[in-house]
Amino acid sequence: MLGPRTTARVFARVPARSFNTSYGAWIDGKDYMPASATTFDVEDPARRTHLASILDSDAATVDKAVESARASFASGVWSRMDVRDRAEILHESARALRKQVPTYAANESIQTGRAIREMNAQLGRLPEWLEYFAAVIRTHEGHCPPFKGSYVNYVKRVPLGVCAQITPWNHPMLIAIKKIAPALAAGNSIVVKPSELAPITVMEFAKLMSECGLPDGVFNVVPGMGPCGAHLSAHPDLDMVDLTGGTPTGRKVHAAAGANLTPVLSELGGKAPMVVFNDADLDEAVNGTVFGSFVATGQTCIAGTRLLVQEDVYEDFVAKYVAKVKSIKIGDPKDPTTQMGPVINQSQLDKIAEFCEVGKAEGGKILCGGKKVDTAGFDPELKDGYYWEPTVIGDCSPNMRVVREEVFGPVVVAYPFKDEADAIAKANDSEFGLAASVWTKNIKKAHRVADQLDVGIVWLNDHHRNDPSSPWGGMKDSGVGRENGLEALNDTLCDFAGQGG
């Protein structure tokens, strides 16, 4: 539903943007702009206006960043720092970030188009990741396994070295901090390559951590287009690559890093099923599944994009679901009452339009949406924004392209299932295996079904929840390894064994 034109009074609650109009790389604790620099532009997807010019880091700049990270690691300034002091710098960074949440949220909103109400909620939790891993590293212990003979055999965990982190545009700060926090807590040095579509807040965060006492060279940032990421992932002087992105990109990164035997942690694509049984609280399920589908304008890897509903309540549930979707308020991301903003760019808008046409050609029925938003009732500044109506396609079947491929936008496909076995089979009928949700009042059924889903994350009567202590990652083509929790910390450490007589 299109809301009324917003007013200056509403926007007064949203901080003005606070970032530079030009950025280079961040290397060895300072801005770096080579003499012969190529730049690219970052735009506001709601207004299609220029926000900043960013350095497109070339191979030499990437090399310089990796060299800086390697030198800082070898010096021991961070890798051998007393773990209590390391933890305190992470805590100080968390305190500083918490004070800056309103500004960071506004900056995230303007560069991604995501509604400010969502960005405030998401970024408000980010300090928890720094605090969690600061606490975990202080209590992380080695062990003394048995060893034949009169020896003491001890094993301790030591940092890997230099970790490259390649992050996406849809959750710029959240996904970056999910990688940064455990890697730094473990004592590694890092080189972060943020998405060219939304690099600004990650660049600013590197400077903030420097101000909080992080030694120079420990946290480096190389913004850039595809070749920048390709050169970084293939760099021979890395000890780990950590990527969040699409599955095709993931395959390329795994192959490039594999040539150097560099381990890769990856969180890739998804096509999350939301399985609604006939004994669910249908009103609660409608609200929860609509949120799970269209939060972040559907541009998230765990978005609930496959709506599977038990056949005897299918028509009633989908009707309520569609009615709820039609009530979503689309508008200016800066307006706190806006529930959904634009998609990220023209390329994504074209991709979504193509998938909707494909869905119709395959026999699907557009139940709502399926076209660009009519922005006639918006502020004139927004008339050219990349707005797409939240879309539900019914009469779908599991073999359709729109069902099997990741759209990465506000498009949901709906189809029925017969019984529990059919629900599990249809939910698992996907090359992806990142996340799913199960909706039922029967707690035994909920756990029974969850246990049989080929995914890494399952929510029961909920969708799209996250916590620094809970492992996050997928199966099948959705990636390798886990973010969050002890698993993420351990992935950035390696075992060192020593024996003494």
- Catalogue the active-site residues: 179, 267, 301, 483
Among 102, 96, 116, 95, which Cα is nearest to 46's? 116
- How far apart, in whole angstroms, are the C-alpha atoms of residue 52 and residue 199? 10
Longest CA–CA span in the chain (Å) reads: 82
The 3-class SS string of 395-425 reads CCCCCCHHHHCCCCCCEEEEEEECCHHHHHH
Q: Tell me if 402 sits within 8 A of 296, measured CB to CB.
A: no
Judged by DSSP in three states, 305 sits in: strand
Angle (nearest 5°) at CA 345 between 342 and 350: 95
Q: Under 8 Å CB-to-CB from 12, ≥6 apart: which residues?
A: none
What is 122-146 written as a DSSP string?
HHTTTHHHHHHHHHHHHH---B---
Q: Are the C-beta atoms of residues 284 and 260 closer than 8 Å to each other?
A: no
* Rounded Cα distance, 177 and 183, in Å: 10
Amino acid at 99: K
Decide: 16 and 343 in contact? Cβ < 8 Å. no
Q: What is the CA radius of gyration of the chain?
A: 23
- 429/454 Cα distance (integer angstroms): 9
Residue position matching structure tokens 């970032």: 19
Residues 388 and 374: beta-carbon distance below 8 Å: no
Pairing of strands 365-368, 391-394: antiparallel
Instruction: Of 170, 191, 200, 198, give the one whose Cα is nearest residue 241.
Output: 191
Pairing state of beta strands 411-417 and 391-394? Answer: parallel
